[in-house]
Each structure stands twice: as structure tokens, then as C-alpha cells.
């Protein structure tokens, strides 16, 4: 019988692998990688723009990743910088109209994918599942900062 650790690790790995495959396929339409979807969807929630430090915080990425991704998305015509001269971190990043359309498309596809992935769950099970995931993420975040305690 598979123990809890193996089952947990395997499930998380499978979810991550399939989710990344799906996002990669969707983002390919825009000449981007699956990792760009996180930025696109996060920025979509901020129609008046978002700062690079806030984007780092919300996406769980560092400055260099945000800078690199914004540069790529800007070249694709999906992002524009406002009030930024020499420093990316002193202005706002906004989606262009093309960026908003791409984000809306990706958002709808992500909603559909999540809906289909959880189609066999009742509303009650779905709520319990998301609460459990939230708890696991919080506990793993603490463990990654503080380390696994010695037994």
C-alpha cells in the first residue's frame, strides 16, 4: 500500500505537471510559455496597473523573473510600462488591449479546466478540498522558512 507521503507527493506532482502542460498549450497561442499565464492573470485583476514589487509578491517570483517576463510580454505587445524611466520598479505595469484580450481568453480557459478537473466533486467536497489545499500550502510555507523540526 502507498503511504501518505508517496500519495501526497505523487498527487501534487501530477497536478503540477498536467496544469503546466495545459497552461503551456494555452500560452503557446501568444508565443509565450506557461509561466507567463500567472503574470497575465494576476495583472488582469489590476486594470489600473500594478507595480513590479507587488507583482513579485503576488506571483511568488523574484525581481529578475518579473523583469524578464515583463520584457518578453512587452515585446509581444501584451504589457506596457507607465511612469517608468530607467527603473522598472518605479512605475506601473499595465496590460495593453491585446494583453487584456489574451488574459480574458486564458482566464476563461483556466476556469473551464478547473471546472472540468473537479467535475466529480460535490460542492461540499470541493470546499473541503480547497480549504485543505490552503492549509497545506500555509503549513509548507512555514516549514520551508523554519525547516522541518527534529523529532
| Ordered DSSP codes for 93-109 | EEE-HHHHHHHHHHHHH
Q: What is the pLDDT of residue 4?
A: 84
pTM over 0.75: yes
Q: What is the pLDDT of residues 99-112, one digit of tens each?
A: 999 999 999 999 99
Mean pLDDT score of the chain: 90
Helix (H) or strand (E) holding 79: strand 79-82
Beta bridge partners of 93: 50, 81
pLDDT value of position 127? 93
Residue 87's SS3 state is coil
Please write the tens of the pLDDT for every residue from 43-96: 999 999 999 999 999 998 999 999 999 999 999 999 998 886 556 667 899 999
Using pLDDT thresholds of 50, 70 and 90, give the confidence band for residue 5.
confident
Pairing of strands 92-95, 79-82: antiparallel
pLDDT for residue 78? 96
Residues 6+ apart with CB under 8 A from 55: 39, 42, 43, 61, 66, 70, 93
Chain-centre distance of CA 100, in angstroms?
A: 16
Residue 2: its pLDDT value, please?
Answer: 64
Q: For the residues 31-46, what does the mean pLDDT come to?
A: 94
User: Across residues 116-132, what is the average pLDDT?
Assistant: 93
Amino acid at each position: 500500500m502507498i503511504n501518505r507521503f508517496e500519495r501526497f507527493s505523487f498527487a501534487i506532482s501530477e497536478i503540477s505537471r498536467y496544469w503546466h502542460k495545459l497552461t503551456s498549450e494555452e500560452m503557446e497561442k501568444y508565443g509565450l510559455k506557461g509561466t507567463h499565464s500567472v503574470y497575465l492573470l494576476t495583472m488582469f485583476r489590476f486594470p489600473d496597473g500594478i507595480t513590479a514589487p507587488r507583482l513579485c509578491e503576488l506571483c511568488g517570483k523574484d525581481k529578475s523573473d518579473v523583469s524578464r517576463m515583463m520584457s518578453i510580454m512587452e515585446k509581444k505587445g501584451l504589457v506596457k510600462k507607465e511612469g517608468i524611466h530607467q527603473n522598472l520598479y518605479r512605475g506601473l505595469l499595465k496590460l495593453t488591449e491585446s494583453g487584456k484580450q489574451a488574459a480574458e481568453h486564458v482566464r476563461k480557459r483556466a476556469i473551464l479546466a478547473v471546472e472540468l478537473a473537479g467535475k466529480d466533486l460535490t460542492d461540499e467536497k470541493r470546499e473541503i478540498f480547497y480549504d485543505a489545499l490552503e492549509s497545506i500550502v500555509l503549513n509548507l510555507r512555514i516549514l520551508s522558512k523554519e525547516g522541518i523540526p527534529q523529532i
